[in-house]
Amino acid sequence: MTLSAYIHFPYCLQKCPYCDFASTGIARQDVPQRAYTDAVLRELQQRAPALQHQRLSSIFFGGGTPSLWEPAELGRVLSALRAAFGDRVEPELEVSVECNPSSLDAARARALSAQGVDRLSIGVQGLDPVRLRFLGRMHDRQRALEALRDALGAVPRVSADLIFGLPGQSPAEAVSDALTLVDLGLSHLSAYALTIEEGTQFGQLARKGRLPLAREGDVADSLTAVAEALSARGFEHYEVSNHARPGQRARHNLHYWRGGAYLGLGAGAVGCLHEAVGSARRYRNDPDPARYMQRAGGPEREVFSEILGPQDMLREQLMLGLRTLDGVELARAQALTGRALSDGREAALERALSRGDAVLEDGFLRVPRARWLHLDSIVADLF
């Protein structure tokens, strides 16, 4: 069985007003580089014995802002992961690092590459100065484009994140940003509609009615227009929010969306380890970096843990797999859970198929791309 590893780096130079990820604002010089790395290594050492039968297929450093992590320290984690899995590291191992334009330059990109990183994912989010200010981002258009060029000069695969659906932003503007980015030579683009989450600054403003919002129609139109424009450039729209040149899909994310097991390391990291057919344990580490560092070597680092049964695992596969172009592979779903996907949802499946909301083809259940705007209700009906 293959396993992905996700390592969370919980620090950012400042907190963005829309962000609900586990991240803490910190001055660059105050990041506890060595102490945090040591804590992650303690956690890995403690979890590794339970992973003896798994093959490692991808490693993803996410955050937070992992480009604030000194490459040599991040490299210690990479080496330890390689050592822990030994000859069970897949030859095609994908190693990705999320970066912010404000903490990535050519030297850092090359240093990450020297540590074995082969894919950089840059949080550009936008190119227009008004939108970047609205999102509270620290970089401007020029810094974003420079960071992308620096990344492209250092590693073979570069992706960017873009947020659309911002107040006052037309679909044409979203398309123009997306094309400017991919025309630099990116192999992958993640394009997300802005979502307003509870507990964020934007969430509070929205509750008080003080957050300007995009027009509903503009958000859906932007999603369609960006997908069409990227498709004309040869990109595959292979997941609702993700576009890739042929052969350049993010393997780490695909593994999640296919219901694969993943090891989570670091403050606030979530992991989901398969214990047997039809049984998985999902956990979340303490999101507070100081507490995590104190407790990393033992089970008390976890603040949440639950056992997933076969139906929980099938629901996850529906929720994630149906967001992809490939859909859910029925044989794989059954092999992971011991149950047929259709078990207990025969009538709902019949309904989805007869309405054209889903199709069954070559052993996959998928939602046609033309219905992706209605995914939430289609999946809810199959739950």
* Measured distance CA(372)–CA(240) in Å, rounded: 7
Q: Is 65 in the site for ligand SF4 (CB under 6 A)?
A: yes
Q: CB nearer to ligand SF4: give 89 or 206.
A: 206
Task: Single out the residue of 54, 100, 113, 324 in contact with ligand SF4 (rule: CB under 6 A).
Answer: 100
Q: CB nearer to ligand SF4: give 101 or 271.
A: 101
Q: Is 163 in the site for ligand SF4 (CB under 6 A)?
A: no
Question: Would you mind telling me the total number of residues written for the chain in this entry?
Answer: 383
Residues 102-131 that bind ligand SF4 (CB under 6 A): 123
Q: CB nearer to ligand SF4: give 37 or 65.
A: 65
DSSP count for the chain of H helices, then E strands: 14, 17
How would DSSP label each residue in 90-117?
A: EEEEEEEEEE-GGG--HHHHHHHHHTT-
| Span interacting with ligand SF4, options 10-18, 84-92, 341-349, 356-364, rule CB under 6 A | 10-18
Q: Give the start-end residues of each E strand in the chain.
A: 2-9, 11-12, 24-25, 55-63, 89-99, 119-125, 157-164, 188-193, 236-239, 242-244, 261-265, 270-276, 279-285, 302-308, 328-329, 359-361, 364-366
Q: Is 194 in the site for ligand SF4 (CB under 6 A)?
A: no
Number of chain positions touching ligand SF4 (CB under 6 A) = 11
Q: CB nearer to ligand SF4: give 63 or 171.
A: 63
Q: CB nearer to ligand SF4: give 124 or 226.
A: 124
Q: Is 10 in the site for ligand SF4 (CB under 6 A)?
A: no
| Span interacting with ligand SF4, options 12-20, 149-157, 269-277, 328-336, rule CB under 6 A | 12-20
Q: Of 235, 335, 205, nearest to 278 (Cα)?
A: 335
Q: Is 21 in the site for ligand SF4 (CB under 6 A)?
A: yes
- Parallel, antiparallel or unpaired: strands 157-164 and 188-193: parallel
Q: Is 281 in the site for ligand SF4 (CB under 6 A)?
A: no
Cβ 249 vs Cβ 189: under 8 Å: no
Task: Single out the residue of 4, 23, 54, 334 in contact with ligand SF4 (rule: CB under 6 A).
Answer: 23
CA within 13 Å, CB half, 361:
9
Residues near ligand SF4 (CB under 6 A): 12, 15-16, 19, 21, 23, 63-65, 100, 123
